[in-house]
Structure 1
Amino acid sequence: MRSLKYLFIAFFITIFAFPSHETTAAEENTTMEVKLKNYLGNRISVKITATGDYRNSGGEIFIKAGESLTLKAESAKLAVYKGSKKTGSYTSFKVMPVKPDASLSINGRPYQGSFTFTVEDGHIRPINTVYIEDYLKGVVPLEMPALWHAEALKAQAIAARTYALRHQSTIIDDTVSYQVYGGADGHYRTDSAIEQTKGMVIKHDGEIIEAFFSSSNGGMTESNSNVWSRGNPLAYLAIKKDFYDSKTNWAITLDKQQIDLSRMDLSKPEEWWTSVEEKDKTVVPKLKAWLKNNGYAKKDIKITEIPLLTFTDEKTGGRVTKGSIQMNFYVRDLVDDRGKLLQQTVKLTNVAASRIRGMVGQEVMKSYLVDHSSSDPSKVAIEGSGYGHGVGLSQFGAKNRAEAGHSYQDILGFYYPDTTIEKEYGPGAGSKTDIVVKAESNSVNMKAKTDHLNEEVGITYSLKEDALVTLTINDSKGNALATPVRDQTLKKGTHSAIWNTKAVSNGTYEAELSAMGRGG
């Protein structure tokens, strides 16, 4: 008989028990303030409908269950109408649900929580104060498809919760500037991922991290300092290859000459102006929109040439940070004293790449990772990969990793290295698991994973041959507390065991696996 090498896993579990009323109070205070802009837009009139009673700050019922009211911005104030009757006028007002399960629909989109209604730049602007777990149920299915693998959804839920709590002290909005939030219409699969990871956040050195994420990193993660000039590089947002990312590809191909005016009479634009169009139908409309927002509002514009479009100054992750562009164009009513059209030119040289990307369209230039660019006398061609800034978690990378068998802990561990997953609130708040695997370099994979929801630790191990196995859990003094596996003859391959942690207190515990070979 010969013996396999002993394998050890040491992991730390810190469990804090809170009285139930303290936990409830902590959770009730875990809310987000979200300015509703994305779906509502800029409106001077909105309709609100309630599924339950809502009271105002004075305690009076403002809107009853099943009732609808119309809010209008009138002379910088909020006028409230029930039908055609005006019932009040306010600088701002707040409404709160009498029962927590009530929702308030704003122009047909339901939201939970409380609301402060204000007038902002002449438009009605609600601010939704919502319990963070309900907020996440309106975020995760809009940031990641709900039909993706459950482990990817859990990773996204934890990243979104972490990002939210990092920005909890400010009023965020419901757009891509923060996280897209769609209100109370969630999905059962993302709801489940949120519930299974309730209260979990990612921390580095005891602090909640900046859990940035994007759709695709193009095969290379990026440092925060290469994308945003402000702030120092964060150790948990490093540059490294990501072999699981789908490498979303994008391309821009533009004719330098968009309109040939060689046979057009610039003194008689009325003869040809309406019958002539630019060649490109994707980028040029966005460039014209940019011009109208930058000095040419309500002008009729024809872009004739785009002789320059380049990106430069690659950082260590391969992403560009600078760009240049030139546009030659005519404006219908800008003529000289003889009535001849005057050519206009806008040229930006070596400006931030984000400015150029904003001009050509973020959905066209999907990232700053430019793989190839070329320019000849007639065309400009730029090819790139990735979708988004590439910092932190890649959503497509998380999907592919989950489908390859990676857990949400594995996924978050890759995209946010040197971090821990901790329970910030809810049952088991304060618990933290650090996993350290000690094994010979030629030994097979061995992992420990804490399930906070069910208060247990799952231990997965692989055997390189058939063996007699015993798995023992010891306390810090070496005393055996449990034996999840005792003298079992197991086949070569992967096996798992569960250790229930409900009865243990704070401390350090060691799982010791002995595997005794059967022959040879």
Structure 2
Amino acid sequence: MTVILVMFPESLKAEEMIKVKLVNNIDKTSELNFQFKGEYYTLDPMLSLHEGVNYSLTVTNNDFFILEGAGEKLKIKESLVLIPSNYDHAHRIAVNDRPYLGAMEFVIEDKKFIRPVNQLPLEDYLKGVVPNEVFPSWGLETLKAQTLAARTYAATHTSEVIDDTIRYQVYGGYTWYKNTSKAVEETHGEVITYQNKPINAFYSASNGGVTENNAHVWDGKPLPYFPVKKDPYDPIHPWKFNLQEVQISLNTINWENPHWWRETVEKDQAITSSMKRWLQRNGYPGNIKILSIPHFELSNKRHESERRITGSITIQFLHRLPEGTILFEQLVREEVAIDHIRPLIGGTIFKSYLIDSLEKNNGIYTMTGRGFGHGVGMSQWGAHIMGQTGSSYKEIIQFYYPGTSITNMNSK
């Protein structure tokens, strides 16, 4: 799956390019629409597309088709690649009404879905990333620090196809803002290095007041520029959630009601929906109803940063198989790494591993904690506070990645 930019200007070929699979705003779909402004070419000599025309792409039985308005449906061989005659802001392609610069390839994914892949210069990619990772209204020095972290991260992934979600970096296409674009332009080519090599420039929204070492999160070798230390700038961001032990009581179900399955719902649906998705992805296909969480606790094991290490959870649920059989099931996770529990609750609810307490009263679990994310590297909110109090982007980088240097990757 590679976009070929054979018709880009020669001056662009020397620039660092990046390939981005568009996932964040495009679910698994067998149909999507696009149109473009400016002149675009395809790699199919039999296919001629025109500016301003609405096109539809569909996949049926692993066959790929393009339809121009109410016109003829044409079959596509393998993939569709669109390449602008010139790389500039006047040439852009809108996929489901969201604009993108550069080239676009539409490929078949899993034999039934359409997946667009955008390829463009790294610096313009960053202009679509920074305003989606932090608030574009934040101060310029903070935006520059975020730009360096984002550029360094992207520069270590140019040999692969990344996506536009939090799994890598959130990329919004050609939706730019003046301040974030200025931050990208004024730091052009600058990356964070250690011993002359770009680092893995991790960052998270908030570290809860203490940074974390990479080895505590992803194992591997502990790196000196990811120390565990107090962060006086991070605004802590305390969080809390409640989870009822009994979600559905079997005694309250009217088994004579033919619609009982549809009409029976859990009490904490924001959390139980995460549980269901995890279970369906991990060996329990079909429909699920969460009955109860009879056991949920944390061990006293902690890292130096005070982040929790292990915990236990038991989930009891009804599992309706595709043919209609309903089974009583139980998932037991006893003294497991806590990152095996958090996905069951959901990362936007169970926000970090810096957990202050987990208590159970009157059949309700209550967890409290601090921060949002893994806590390794830069705290985005901490960088915001540093910028507000007069720190430069270089000082922000040195605080969150101590011992590193700022290097221009374009200099020889």
**TM beyond 0.5:** yes
Mapped to 1, the partners of 2:249 and 2:58 lie a distance apart of 50
Partner of 1:209: 199
Mapped to 1, the partners of 2:122 and 2:385 lie a distance apart of 28
Provide the identity percentage.
37
User: Structure 1: where are the runs of 5+ without partners?
Assistant: 1-23, 431-520
Partner of 2:86: 99
Partner of 1:144: 134
Pairwise CA distance, 1:372: 1.8
Matched, 1:116 2:101: no
Q: 1:31-50 alignment to 2 at 5 Å?
A: 31-50=17-36
Partner of 2:292: 305
Partner of 2:223: 234
Q: 1:388-407 alignment to 2 at 5 Å?
A: 388-407=373-392
Q: Tell me which of 299, 305, 321 is aligned to 2:309.
A: 321
Pairwise CA distance, 1:300: 5.2
Pairwise CA distance, 1:130: 0.6
Mapped to 1, the partners of 2:13 and 2:126 lie a distance apart of 14
Residue type of the alignment partner of 2:52:
G
Pairwise CA distance, 1:58: 6.5
Indicate how the Cα distance of structure 1 residues 134 and 372 shifts in structure 2: closer, same or farther if over 3 A, else same. Answer: same
Q: 1:310-459 alignment to 2 at 5 Å?
A: 310-312=297-299, 313-331=301-319, 343-376=328-361, 378-425=363-410, 429-430=411-412
Partner of 1:287: 275
> Contact 1:62/1:95 (CA < 8 Å) preserved in 2?
no
Matched, 1:86 2:73: yes
Indicate how the Cα distance of structure 1 residues 205 and 87 shifts in structure 2: closer, same or farther if over 3 A, else same. Answer: same
When the two chains are superposed, the root-mean-square deviation of aligned CA atoms in Å is 2.6
Structure with the higher helix share, 1 or 2: 2
The C-alpha deviation readout for 1:210-260, integer Å capped at 9, x for no partner, is 00111000001111111012x211111111110100111111222323344
Mapped to 1, the partners of 2:119 and 2:398 lie a distance apart of 31
Pairwise CA distance, 1:27: 7.0
Structure with the higher strand share, 1 or 2: 1
Mapped to 2, the partners of 1:58 and 1:274 lie a distance apart of 49
Indicate how the Cα distance of structure 1 residues 267 and 46 shifts in structure 2: closer, same or farther if over 3 A, else same. Answer: closer
Pairwise CA distance, 1:276: 5.5
> Contact 2:142/2:393 (CA < 8 Å) preserved in 1?
yes
Indicate how the Cα distance of structure 1 residues 348 and 66 shifts in structure 2: closer, same or farther if over 3 A, else same. Answer: same
Partner of 1:130: 120
Matched, 1:157 2:144: no
User: Structure 2: where are the runs of 5+ without partners?
Assistant: 1-9
Pairwise CA distance, 1:155: 0.5
Mapped to 1, the partners of 2:259 and 2:67 lie a distance apart of 53
Indicate how the Cα distance of structure 1 residues 318 and 53 shifts in structure 2: closer, same or farther if over 3 A, else same. Answer: same
The C-alpha deviation readout for 1:5-56, integer Å capped at 9, x for no partner, is xxxxxxxxxxxxxxxxxxx857743110111111122121221211111112
Higher RCO (CA 8 Å, separation ≥ 6 residues): 1
Indicate how the Cα distance of structure 1 residues 87 and 258 shifts in structure 2: closer, same or farther if over 3 A, else same. Answer: closer
TM-score normalised according to structure 1 size: 0.71
Indicate how the Cα distance of structure 1 residues 269 and 228 shifts in structure 2: closer, same or farther if over 3 A, else same. Answer: farther
Mapped to 2, the partners of 1:424 and 1:375 lie a distance apart of 53
Pairwise CA distance, 1:192: 0.9
Moved more, 136-145 or 49-58: 49-58
